Amino acid sequence: MVDKGIDNAFVWVDSVYNNLYLSIHTKKGSQFWNEGFGSELHTIKKSSGDSANRARDMIVESTKWMTDEEIVQEIDVFVEVDSKDSGRFNITVTVKRLDEASKPYELWFDIV
């Protein structure tokens, strides 16, 4: 392969973000190739009092495969209900890469 000056870290970051996004936003059980893939965030309703804690647990479960498959070393999840829109979660997922570098990713999820 010829090095064309492309930063391979960009490709890594892109694929990790993609894996996080799909793991969180895909409804668990909706993929024929892996019924365990995805999250159950779509089951949380706006009226749930502990919805941020439940969402965090669901995100941890849905992204665990990334550490199991050694794509990343560690995943830390922080979830809060948006202060301006109670129907939205603000999600920060901090990923510790295999090379020890950490990177935070900002995501969101709308509660229906």
Q: What is the pLDDT of residues 13-42, one digit of tens each?
A: 468 888 898 999 899 989 888 889 999 988
Can you give the pLDDT at residue 100? 77
Whether 93 is in a domain gets the answer: yes
Tokens 């694929």 sit at which residue? 15
In a domain, 3, yes or no: no
The CATH number given to whatever domain includes residue 52 is 3.10.450.40
Residue 2 is assigned to a structural domain of this protein: no
Whether 95 is in a domain gets the answer: yes
Domain presence at residue 21: yes
At 44-102, the pLDDT tens digits run: 876 566 788 999 999 999 999 999 999 899 999 999 888 888 888 889 999 888 887 88
Q: What is the pLDDT of residues 10-20, one digit of tens each?
A: 444 468 888 89
Lookup: tokens for 106: 């900002």
Instruction: Give residue 74's identity as a one-letter amino acid code.
Output: E
Residue 101 has a pLDDT of: 80
Q: Domain for residue 89, yes or no?
A: yes
Q: Does a structural domain hold residue 105?
A: yes
Q: How many domains does the chain have?
A: 1
Q: pTM for the full model?
A: 0.77
What is the domain extent for residue 37?
8-110
CB environment 18-47: b (16+ within 10 A), e (fewer): ebbeebbbbebeeeeeeeebbbbbbebeee
Give me the pLDDT at residue 8, please: 44
